[in-house]
A and B are shown apart, each in its own frame.
Chain A
Amino acid sequence: MGRMAFEEPILAVESVGKEFFGNKVLSDVSFTLGKGEILGLVGENGAGKSTLMNILFGMPLISSTGGYDGRVVYDGKEARFQSPFDAIDAGVGMVHQEFSLLPGFTVTENIMLNREPTKYNPLVEIFGDRMRTLDRQAMRQRADTAIDAIGFAVDPETLASEMPVGHKQFTEIAREVDRKNTKLLILDEPTAVLAESEAETLVRALRNLSARGISMIFISHRLQEIIDLCDKIVVLRDGRVAQETRPSETDVFKIASAMVGRSVSAASTRVRDAAETEVVLDVENLWVDMPGETVRNVTFSVRRGEIFGIGGLAGQGKLGIANGIMGLFTAGGNVRVRGERLRLNAPAVSLSRDMAFVSEDRRGVGLLLDEAIDWNIAFTAMQVQDKFVRRMLGGLVKWRDDEAMRDAAMEYIKLLEIRCTSHKQRAVELSGGNQQKVCLAKAFVVNPKLLFVSEPTRGIDIGAKRLVLDILKKVNEEQGTTIIVTSSELEELRSICDRIAIVDNGVISGIRPAAAPAEEFGLLMTGDVSVTGPTEGRDI
């Protein structure tokens, strides 16, 4: 692809690091970006992409949490943007994943928003510049120019609310292009919402822009697109640059493996004859209407004693599966538990079938934040199984048994090493890790045969992570509990699961044994199924 030479870099990131409350999310990230160059940035969720972009765009979140280490050299000078306005003034544009268009405004108005060319009128003398009127003709001209520049045909007079998502994306980009001084454009997954043909148009438009000397950082999960479009590819993993390469030197497979890491040592060494045991959970054509995590059509089965992992990128629907089976979101399809069909959309029914759920939304669904630990642990068991209940007046009154609740709470506080002042401490006062242990205790206390655990280690520190995973393993081994773990962290799944299903776009793109090579999972996640051949589906 004959491009101009990139002599002096427009952007140089030099050993940038960032900590959030002692939690290192970026360390020693360095790369350079030349004029007119397109850099593809890839990485799993949580690899540090967003943090890096926030640093480059001067988001207040960064300075309010103590700034960052290292240097960012932009246009020959060290840049420390205090706010996005600084960044915009300096010529950095950002196209967000969520659209920031005014729905009732036309394309032209949206592109020109807050930069409208204006006309003088006598009222200005009295009331000042606020009374200047819009120069609609000039606006229209500039909007046309910007739209032409990205080479996409969109009617400048269409209302934003009436446009398909693809056109909205182009309007956003046109807005950035209209800024005269834009030198660097950051695009956060611009193609995620686009259909394939639209994505191609966008890629073409971006090439146009790069030919005009605008540099770009392009974030995407679609690896083929990255290879097709970019001049340079940076792979982030766990806050570090895992790989920096050129498209000619790599392929989808190599990028995927750099993304998820090659540490096969972490993978499960569990060898079990799961095939010998009977199927306890059989899910067929399940759909779940969970906002942001829609499950479209999922089919899998889990055998007794298995630890089954569900992975995938955020927003693809992996979290919806457990929520749907447990009745928390509207769901449909055919779910059989130990051979018997499960009535969906009724949490009480799911619970009464010896299933328990540790929700990913710990503070929203998982805990009674304002109540004490013992309430949190005992409540579900009390309501579903009449545990911790003393019958009085011939069974007429079901009296809460506070002593039994205390004993159970004490037992789990000891067993799971929950750090607290007493069993009467309120859940809101506990740290994330200890809250998660309370959630687990709540699930264990009902003695589930089938346990769903979603994002068990999200937002908790390393030590607690290890402990939580060990507990799950132990419960599985000692009590034979079948566990279905949903997690965004592939390594975590590989370290405890027997098999892992990867969910992409609401369907399972493949099920692999945990020991399968990491890059295979990476490819399944990014939807490049074709590269790995047909999925094995439900066989074990």
Chain B
Amino acid sequence: MGGYIKRFIENAGWPRIIIGMFLISLYIAAPFVNVRVLSSLSDTLVRVGMNGVLVLAMVPMVQSGCGLNFGLPLGIIAGLLGATTSLQFETRGFQGFGFAMLVAIPTAAVLGFIYAQILNRVKGEEMMIATYVGFSSVAVTCMAWLLLPFDSPVMIWAYGGSGLRTTISTEGFWRHVLSDFLAFGEEGGTFYFPTGMFIFFFVMIFLMWAFFRTKTGTAITAVGSNPDFARASGINVNRMRTISVMLSTVLGALGILVYEQSFGFIQLYMGPFYMAFPAVAAILLGGASVNKATMVNVIAGTFLFQGILTMTPSVINSLLQSDMSEVIRIIVSNGMILYALTRKTQVKR
């Protein structure tokens, strides 16, 4: 028994155990401060479903040794472009959502390819460069949102009559198409489970798992593990890295679409600016390192991180009678990133 516990601690790692205990204690404390456990759990699950694919988008780049995808906003922009295009063409329901994906995926692939060429020139500094690729792409698209020839009245500024608004509702188009598919209960009720969103999330997880069991996936893992070894085995290292960056970017695009259909709004302009950080924090919290990540890391990390995010406002705020949620969120997410990056055993090359 003692040995088992020891092994569990070793496998799970202290940060996860501490955060996990904290989360459990929040759930235990909830009823005492008049927070309903079931609806809290529903909130957590909804947020897990919303953010899961974005967290998954970290995996390919981590595995290929490109580090954490701080350039996630680039993929998100492709997703936003898909979303706005589908609204422009007034496609609704599953067709609308599918159309958005259809536009988003190739856009993300192209952007990802360019992004990969940049990262291949800065080996060893990927994460720093990725951060700025993310930031600057957001700034560039700020202009694009104003200038692109969208003219659907649901999306453009009412005054002036041109340029997209900062927040656009997906209501009446494809809000909740995934979330409400085979869902249990109703949002706002005692318990709500967004089945469709989870089906989508797990299909993505399965595809990713399967991909890393193929010959190409194996090569990508080896590139991340030791690029010199991979090269000596005849692998085109830059090509594998490019594939992984494109995959990450495409997943970022899909992830934001899932997020928007559940959230109900498309957030343009500075919306994607900080989107990478919660996803990075989540996968690190899940136990991934800078050059190794598994599907378990994704699921566990998303759940723990989003759990903390949903539970702290309700429970801690009731306890302390003050709004601490934002502070705790920042401490947990940035603290986790800091912790993981200082502990990283420098991506080997």
Contact = CB atoms under 8 A, between A and B. Distances in A.
A347 B232 contact: yes
B229 interface: yes
Interface stretch (A97-105, A120-128, A393-401): A393-401
Interface stretch (B3-11, B167-175, B215-223): B215-223
A28 to B, nearest CB: 41
B236 A383 contact: no
B226 interface: yes
Contacts of A386: 215
Contacts of A328: 231-232
A428 to B, nearest CB: 11
Contacts of B235: 348, 383
Contacts of A375: 218, 222
A367 B233 contact: no
Given A371-B222, A379-B222, A389-B215, A347 B233 contact: yes
Interface residues of B, number: 21
Of listed B213, B218, B231, B235, residue having the most chain A CB within 10 A: B218
B180 interface: no
B187 interface: no
Contacts of A417: none
Contacts of B228: 361, 364-365
Contacts of B214: 397-400
A397 B225 CA distance: 23
Among B218, B231, B232, the one with the most A-chain Cβ atoms within 10 Å of its Cβ is B232
- Residue of B214, B215, B225, B229 most packed against chain A (CB within 10 A): B229
A364 B219 CA distance: 17
Given A379-B218, A383-B219, A389-B215, A352 B225 contact: no
Contacts of A366: 229, 232
A370 B225 contact: yes
Counting chain B CB atoms within 10 Å of each CB, which of A349, A361, A379, A384 scores highest? A379
Interface residues of A, number: 31
Contacts of A400: 213-215, 217-218
Nearest to A367: B229
B213 A352 contact: no
B288 to A, nearest CB: 13
Contacts of A380: 232-234
A384 B232 contact: no
B215 A382 contact: yes
Contacts of B226: 364-365, 367-370
A27 to B, nearest CB: 37
Given A352-B234, A359-B232, A383-B215, 11 more contacts: A351-B233, A357-B232, A364-B228, A366-B232, A368-B225, A370-B292, A379-B233, A380-B234, A383-B219, A400-B213, A400-B218
23 contacts: A347-B234, A348-B235, A352-B234, A357-B232, A359-B232, A364-B226, A366-B229, A367-B226, A369-B225, A370-B226, A371-B221, A379-B218, A379-B229, A380-B234, A382-B215, A383-B219, A383-B233, A383-B234, A384-B233, A397-B214, A398-B214, A400-B213, A400-B217
Interface of B: 213-219, 221-222, 225-226, 228-229, 231-236, 292, 348
Interface of A: 326, 328, 347-352, 357, 359, 361, 364-371, 375, 379-380, 382-384, 386, 389, 397-400
- In the complex, the 4 A-B pairs of residues with the closest C-beta atoms, listed nearest first: A348-B234, A398-B215, A380-B233, A351-B234
